Amino acid sequence: MIDDATMLAVASATAQVFELAGIAVVILGAIYAAVAFARGGHASGEDRVAAFRRMLGRAILTGLELLVAADIIRTVAIDPTLEKVLVLGVIVLIRTFLSFSLEVEIEGRWPWQKKAAAED
């Protein structure tokens, strides 16, 4: 059986890996989007700025998801106090709002709306 100290160390290391992965995804995604923009690469006549914003937005969304996972691991497994859980709740609400805002910006519609027939 794993002792408490080992479990806390594993949870802390796992949360840190998720944090680093989230940061890396945002940075690498921004670099990839910038390089694609500089090369002028865009699919099906799409505006270069729109393509850049779409790629950057997707990288930020993915990075946010990984950072939320790290916060959940850190709060629930490492320091589950009521204050920490409330702070986590506020962070998740803010990041959820950001995710919805980015999704609307990228897709031009709310996540629960159906895609237009022309997009299929």
- pLDDT computed for residue 56 by the predictor: 92
Q: Which two tokens stand for residue 81?
A: 């106090």
Query: What kind and span of H or E run contains 39?
Result: helix 4-39
Q: If phi over 0 gives left and psi between -120 and 50 gives alpha, with beta otherwise, what is residue 114?
A: beta
Find the length of the chain: 120
Q: If phi over 0 gives left and psi between -120 and 50 gives alpha, with beta otherwise, what is residue 73?
A: alpha
Q: How far is residue 27 from each of residues 19, 34, 55, 83, 99, measured CA to CA in Å?
A: 12, 11, 12, 31, 17
- Tell me the per-residue pLDDT of 13-59, one tens digit each, with 9 for 90 and over: 999 999 999 999 999 999 999 999 888 765 555 688 888 888 998 99
Q: Where are the domains of the chain?
A: 4-113
- What's the pTM? 0.76
- Tell me the per-residue pLDDT of 49-75, one tens digit each, with 9 for 90 and over: 888 888 998 999 899 899 989 988 888
- pLDDT computed for residue 42 by the predictor: 54
Nearest to 37, CA basis, from 20, 53, 57: 53
- pLDDT computed for residue 33 by the predictor: 93
